Chains A and B, each alone.
Chain A
Amino acid sequence: MSSFSIITTALTSLQAHFQAMDTAGHNVANVNTPGFRRQEAILSSRSPYPPPGTAEGTMGGLVGTGVEVSMVRRAQDGYLGLHLRTTAGQLGQWSTLNNALKEIEAIVAPSGGENLGMLLDRFWDTWQTLSTRPDDLSARVQVRAEGVALAAAFGDLSQKLQSQAAQLNLVIKGSVDEINRLAQETADLNRQIAVATAEGKQPNDLLDQRDTLLTRLSELTGATLIAPENALPILNLGGRSLVQGQVAFALTTVEGASGNLEVHWQEDGALAQVSGGELAGQLQVQQQLIPQYLGELDTIASTLVAEVNSLHQAGFGLDGTTGVNFFTPGSTAANMSVDDALLADVRAIAAAAAGDSPGDGSVALSIAGLRNSSVMPGGESLGLAWRNLLGQVGTDTQVSGENAQAAQLLNDQLLMQQQSLAGVSLDEEMAQMIQFQHAYDAAARVLTTADEMLSTIIERMAPPV
């Protein structure tokens, strides 16, 4: 054993603790970085001298040779990452649904504003008033005005719902673009990670980055990860690989027959099965909920048009006309309008059951009676059908909101657990920094002492010439 080995030993301590301090600094720097997991410099003693089996010489056994950083370990969080990605997918889906439904709800039932049901009530009211004053032109003008307002409200509602669906095309396009970009980045990171691992390095920060990408991908698509800690993980979307190791498979959007975008695989054009995440929420609102609401609205509109027209045609106007439609026949919610004949002259509104009976309001009364008639195909009245639609939108919004909240709570909880295991605690880093600093100081002191000891030998035993 050489007298100088103490210097080397002290040096390893200086270096190792400097590196440990470096790691603590890295942790402190990333205290607020999303997805960052705490890293730890694992210190271990170096191999003793001499290696066992070689001649020991004069030494009384194996002598330690200092310390080294054997690896920089990334904090582990078990299966939390897997759970987190699952809940991220659920959270993405429900909160997307909830946000879209809140907008739809505000369209269908503007708070404090008038909704279609109130206009429908007013429409029936004006027919009632007309039945009491069939010869009064002002009562007729009111009936026509409310008819026009009601038709406009149906058109407005239908148009707003359709434009919601059209806007979702842009959102879906944006989501697919983001998914493709993230999948490509994940594949690229997989390659870097594979290279680093092959070189025996710890790609801690690359793994953190990949985790963040994977979580965002799950949030977008609900995609699941197969073999998470494998160097070549497979990201599965509806039974197919979105990312397979270093290769990413792109999605593309295709405009369907109804003008809505469909998501397909670029490789072979097959329809992508997206069952979770924000994208699934967007698709569900656009291709399931909005068509359902619009369909119900159209049924209400076309039933109203058909029923009012059939009674109105049988009646007679002040001018003796009969067989006139009140609404343009065959119209749906989108293109509902009051018939041109009535727009030209309110006298053509048929309140009477026979010609030349200006005081007869019996047809007006039977049209007003449609208010409570079970005329909808399902046997409910028009007002009830509207309220059911209102209740449906309300329930859908409420349920999606509750589910989004539950997913948020679960996600928060898992995030907390993960942060508890892998997050950075400044207190902890401070304590370790103190520890490392003292070790560094002590190693420096060993070096100084060794220097003094060597000086004793060199200066006293071999005086200057």
Chain B
Amino acid sequence: MRVSNSMISHNLLSHLGQTTENLLRLQEQMASGLKINRPSDDPMGAVRAAAVRSALAEVAQYQKNAEEGKDLLAMTDSALAEIVELVRQARDSGLAGVTGTSDAATREALARNVEQMLESIVRAANSDRAGRFLFGGYKTNAAPFSLDQSDTPPVTYSGDSGAALFEVGRSSTVAVNLAGDQVFNMNGAAEPGLSDLFSTLDSLKDSLLSGDAAQMQTSLDEIDQHLSHLLSLRAEVGARGQGIELALNRLSDTEFSLKDSLSRTEDADLAKAVVELQAQQNIYQATAAIASVLAQMGLLEFLR
């Protein structure tokens, strides 16, 4: 083949250009740690990486929701534990009154004790987490229970029966609150026919004051029903908490496999990149060396 001078320079330049381009691409991969630096590097991979990244953002949000729900349930549980303890104490006072040996003064002291327990239970029922009332249903911005000892029933509920649903997975929701009407059986919301806890305690107090043993016994029976209802609610809260734990485990599994898939999709293989870089460097140097030899070659050199 006849070789003209412009062929030599054109050839050298195009090869050096190609090698430089490869070096640039490898250098970009190594600097960013990614083999996909723009969609056109690998359109399918880029779309998959974007989908995985979006799913990861979703998982992170579900994790936040779950942690938040766990907090709320834990607070609900401790409030319930406190209420159960207070109800038990009120029940003990009632039991002490009903055994019959007590005189009026003792019974009055017991009645005052029950009254105190009632007030404490209302305080516990108005528990809040940073201004968010736990037992108000959807009405979370005001104390749902208000106490007026002189009134009948002594406690009124201003909340509703709304259930706060948190999403802890794609279309998997957990209710993270207990509405106050359910907990304390306001207006028979949980068990129709049974009076609410506060009214029960109030009539226990009244019967202690009046010494009506039959009424005392009725109230004590009702308190037992309330206690078992409260305990089943605690079990319910515990179960929901476990459900959230399970969801969190599942989410961290998903997160792991998504991160793994993201890494496999878009992360550069550094070892491979380094080896390739070395190879391209060698090619570049060889081409440059050839260029310097070719530049000196020519009949002209020998004709001087």
Contact B141 A135 (CB under 8 A): yes
What are 17 inter-chain pairs, A to B, with CB distance below 8 A?
Answer: A32-B5, A115-B50, A117-B53, A124-B58, A133-B68, A356-B139, A358-B140, A360-B162, A369-B167, A369-B171, A372-B170, A388-B47, A394-B47, A395-B40, A397-B39, A419-B7, A425-B2
Contact B64 A129 (CB under 8 A): yes
3 closest residue pairs by CB, A with B: A394-B39, A423-B4, A359-B140
At the interface, yes or no: B272 with Cβ under 8 Å from chain A? no
Contact B50 A387 (CB under 8 A): yes
At the interface, yes or no: B1 with Cβ under 8 Å from chain A? yes
Cβ < 8 Å to A, chain B residues 117-156: 131-133, 136-141
Which residues of chain B have a CB within 8 Å of any CB of chain A? 1-7, 10-11, 14, 32, 37-44, 46-47, 50-51, 53-54, 57-58, 60-62, 64-65, 68-69, 131-133, 136-141, 160, 162, 164-167, 170-171, 173, 176-177, 298-300, 303
B300 (CB) vs chain A CBs: closest residue:
A430
C-alpha spacing A193/B84, complex, angstroms = 110
At the interface, yes or no: A199 with Cβ under 8 Å from chain B? no
Contact B39 A393 (CB under 8 A): yes
Report B10 CB to chain A, min CB distance, Å.
7
Contact B5 A359 (CB under 8 A): no
Q: Which residues of B contact A38 (CB under 8 A)?
A: 4
Contact B50 A390 (CB under 8 A): yes
Known: A357-B139, A425-B2. A131 touches B39 (CB 8 A): no
Contact B43 A391 (CB under 8 A): yes
C-alpha spacing A368/B299, complex, angstroms = 78
C-alpha spacing A393/B40, complex, angstroms = 8
C-alpha spacing A415/B10, complex, angstroms = 9
Report A21 CB to chain B, min CB distance, Å.
15
Known: A391-B44, A427-B298. A420 touches B6 (CB 8 A): no
Cβ contacts A356-397/B at 8 Å (1 or 0 each): 111111100100110110000000000110011011011101
Report A189 CB to chain B, min CB distance, Å.
23
Q: Assuming A359-B133, A387-B51, A388-B47, what are 4 further A-B pairs, CB within 8 angstroms? A: A132-B166, A360-B162, A394-B41, A419-B4
C-alpha spacing A428/B7, complex, angstroms = 14
Known: A387-B51, A425-B5, A431-B299. A395 touches B43 (CB 8 A): yes
Report B302 CB to chain A, min CB distance, Å.
9
Question: Among B43, B53, B165, B171, which residue has the most Cβ atoms of chain A within 10 A?
Answer: B43
Contact A362 B2 (CB under 8 A): no
- Please pick, from A111, A423, A426, the residue contacting B37 in the complex, using a CB distance under 8 A: A111
Cβ < 8 Å to B, chain A residues 77-111: 101-102, 105-106, 108-109, 111
Contact B2 A421 (CB under 8 A): yes
Question: Among A102, A361, A424, which residue has the most Cβ atoms of chain B within 10 A?
Answer: A361
Cβ contacts A416-459/B at 8 Å (1 or 0 each): 10011111111110110010000000000000000000000000
At the interface, yes or no: A112 with Cβ under 8 Å from chain B? yes
What is the interface size of chain A, counting residues whose CB is below 8 A from a CB of the partner? 67
Contact B10 A416 (CB under 8 A): yes
Report B136 CB to chain A, min CB distance, Å.
7
Q: Which residues of B contact A390 (CB under 8 A)?
A: 39, 46-47, 50
Known: A371-B58, A383-B54. A359 touches B32 (CB 8 A): no
Contact B46 A111 (CB under 8 A): no
Q: Which residues of B contact A56 (CB under 8 A)?
A: none
- Please pick, from A112, A384, A387, A416, the residue contacting B32 in the complex, using a CB distance under 8 A: A112
C-alpha spacing A359/B167, complex, angstroms = 15
Contact B1 A420 (CB under 8 A): yes
Q: Which residues of A contact B133 (CB under 8 A)?
A: 359
Report B74 CB to chain A, min CB distance, Å.
15
- Please pick, from A352, A397, A424, the residue contacting B5 in the complex, using a CB distance under 8 A: A424
Contact A391 B61 (CB under 8 A): no
Known: A128-B61, A365-B165. A425 touches B138 (CB 8 A): no
Report A146 CB to chain B, min CB distance, Å.
12
Contact B38 A111 (CB under 8 A): yes
Contact B46 A394 (CB under 8 A): yes
Report B22 CB to chain A, min CB distance, Å.
12
Q: Which residues of B contact A124 (CB under 8 A)?
A: 58, 61
Contact B37 A358 (CB under 8 A): no
Report B95 CB to chain A, min CB distance, Å.
38
Report A106 CB to chain B, min CB distance, Å.
7
Cβ contacts A207-239/B at 8 Å (1 or 0 each): 000000000000000000000000000000000
Report B12 CB to chain A, min CB distance, Å.
12
Q: Which residues of B contact A109 (CB under 8 A)?
A: 38-39, 46
At the interface, yes or no: A31 with Cβ under 8 Å from chain B? yes
Q: Which residues of A contact B51 (CB under 8 A)?
A: 383-384, 387
Known: A365-B167, A391-B39. A419 touches B10 (CB 8 A): yes
